[in-house]
């Protein structure tokens, strides 16, 4: 058995949702060991949290620069090999840049940066290295999403002609209507979140998913965003028309003010011979629609699935898998890349996916601010 990959973590301490998702995901394939990191900007809280999760204090650092400098003093056989960045958006770029410069592999939460220019800097730096860089577009790890990808690739639904993605949440609704709460929420602060809230947070998931399952690139888009209040600088809702070509079109709808919605992410791809539909809140079912046959429902763990989908399912049929499992598959893909055992295209979202995501966010905002005009993704 190979030695476990030594993992460091930046952010994700305390009651952070994304922190616990990453920590559990990293443990699920027995590929990683969390060595240390910087979990909280307050050093005392940082140490306290490390003790709570059973880490030695000698690899818990005051800040990411100190972590890098101290880790580089260690023998390569002891040094942290890959670092997960789980901080607010504005810290992703400086952390990722410093890690790449010092030859650490990176797993970064989305969006990869706060601007497309920053993403291009990371791309240039990454190309000069022999490192692994993943961006955690979590939902691409679901077995039935990977089954969808393989079915589209094999031509089961024919040439794609229509796409429809919806991602609705309601959690910002009570915040956006309270001025004091609105001013305290970091996702609604451009200096911390970037130029977009809703599209940068969940719309980018839908865009990445669209290009992931179809293996096609969006060429043009037109957006209409909603900020609700004039003094609110960040979108909380949006509708985006997209074109792959003159004959292949669709829509992405994203909202964080869809009152009562929890995490309603739906992916529907329609081809000339059939359609495929998947719902994140019911992720173990992939619906195969056809003109001349009854609806088929595909589920993980069965032999009829593709090899890629079977690799991504850890349990026998009838045992539900969820978000932890999906994120775990991304971590597993990164581990397989580091250990040079990767088999399938798309085992983890890459730096290029993060770059495309940043281009998408900026073009959506540009289209809206220019009077809802079509813009090209170049």
Q: pTM for this structure?
A: 0.95
Predicted confidence at residue 1, as pLDDT, reads 40
Q: Which of 331, 349, 354, 350 has the alpha carbon at shortest distance from 9?
A: 331
pLDDT at residue 2 is higher than 80: no
Name which CATH class applies to 5-138: alpha beta
Average pLDDT over every residue of 34-46: 95
pLDDT one-digit tens code per residue, 60-115:
999 999 999 999 999 999 999 999 999 999 999 999 999 999 999 999 999 999 99
Average pLDDT over every residue of 184-211: 93
Give me 370's structure tokens: 């220019």
**Would you say 346 and 337 are in contact if contact means Cβ atoms under 8 Å apart?**
no
Q: Which residue has the higher pLDDT, 264 or 188?
A: 264
Parse the chain into domains and list their residue ranges: 5-138, 143-313+351-369
Domains 5-138 and 143-313+351-369 share a fold: no
Q: Rounded mean pLDDT of the chain?
A: 96
Q: Strand 375-376 relative to strand 220-226: parallel, antiparallel, unpaired?
A: antiparallel
Name which CATH class applies to 143-313+351-369: alpha beta
Q: Which of 62, 60, 84, 68 has the alpha carbon at shortest distance from 5?
A: 84
Predicted confidence at residue 25, as pLDDT, reads 97
Distance CA 347, CA 288 (A): 23
Whether a cis peptide bond, with omega within 30° of 0, leads into 111 is yes
pLDDT band at residue 166 under the 50/70/90 scheme: very high
Concatenated DSSP letters of 183-239 = HH-GGG-HHHH-S-SHIIIIIHHHHHHHHHHH-----EEEEEEE-SSTT--S--EEE
Q: Strand 237-243 relative to strand 264-271: parallel, antiparallel, unpaired?
A: unpaired
Torsion angle of alpha carbons 184, 190, 195, 199, nearest 10°?
A: -20
Average pLDDT over every residue of 44-52: 94
The HSE-up count of residue 191 (CA atoms within 13 Å, CB side) is: 2
Distance CA 145, CA 330 (A): 13
334-372 in b/e form (b: 16+ CB < 10 A) is bbbbbeeeeebebbbbbbebbbbbbbbbbbbbebbeeee
Q: Is 277 helix (H, G, I), strand (E, B) or coil?
A: strand
pLDDT one-digit tens code per residue, 246-301:
999 999 999 999 999 999 999 999 999 999 999 999 999 999 999 999 999 999 99
């Amino acid at each position: 058995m190979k030695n476990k990959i030594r993992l460091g973590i930046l952010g994700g301490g305390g009651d952070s949702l994304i922190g616990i998702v990453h920590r559990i995901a990293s443990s699920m394939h027995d590929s990683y060991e969390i060595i240390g990191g910087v979990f909280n900007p307050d050093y005392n809280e940082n140490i306290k949290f490390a003790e709570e999760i059973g880490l030695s204090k000698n690899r818990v650092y005051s800040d990411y620069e100190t972590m890098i400098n101290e880790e580089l003093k260690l023998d390569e056989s002891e040094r942290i090999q890959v670092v997960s960045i789980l901080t607010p958006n504005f810290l992703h770029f400086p952390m990722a840049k410093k890690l790449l410069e010092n030859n650490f592999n990176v797993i970064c939460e989305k969006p990869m940066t706060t601007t497309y220019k920053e993403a291009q800097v990371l791309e240039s730096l990454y190309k000069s290295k022999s490192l692994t860089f993943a961006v955690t577009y979590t939902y691409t790890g679901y077995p039935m999403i990977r089954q969808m990808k393989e079915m589209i690739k094999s031509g089961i639904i024919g040439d794609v002609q229509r796409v429809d993605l919806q991602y609705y949440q309601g959690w910002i609704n009570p915040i956006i209507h309270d001025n004091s709460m609105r001013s305290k929420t970091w996702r609604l602060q451009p200096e911390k979140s970037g130029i977009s809230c809703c599209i940068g947070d969940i719309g980018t998931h839908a865009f990445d998913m669209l290009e992931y399952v179809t293996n096609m690139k969006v060429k043009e888009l037109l957006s209409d965003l909603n900020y609700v209040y004039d003094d609110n600088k960040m979108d909380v809702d949006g509708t985006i028309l997209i074109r792959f070509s003159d004959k292949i079109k669709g829509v992405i709808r994203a909202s964080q003010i869809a009152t009562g919605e929890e995490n309603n992410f739906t992916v529907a791809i329609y081809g000339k011979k059939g359609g495929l539909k998947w719902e994140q809140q019911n992720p173990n079912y992939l619906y195969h629609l056809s003109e001349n046959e009854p609806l088929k429902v595909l589920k993980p763990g069965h032999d009829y699935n593709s090899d890629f989908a079977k690799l991504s399912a850890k349990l026998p049929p009838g045992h539900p898998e969820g978000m932890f499992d999906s994120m775990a598959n991304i971590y597993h893909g990164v581990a397989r890349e580091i250990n040079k055992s990767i088999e399938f295209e798309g085992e983890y979202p890459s730096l290029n996916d993060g770059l495309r995501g940043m281009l998408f966010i900026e073009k959506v905002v540009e289209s809206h601010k220019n009077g809802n005009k079509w813009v090209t993704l170049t």
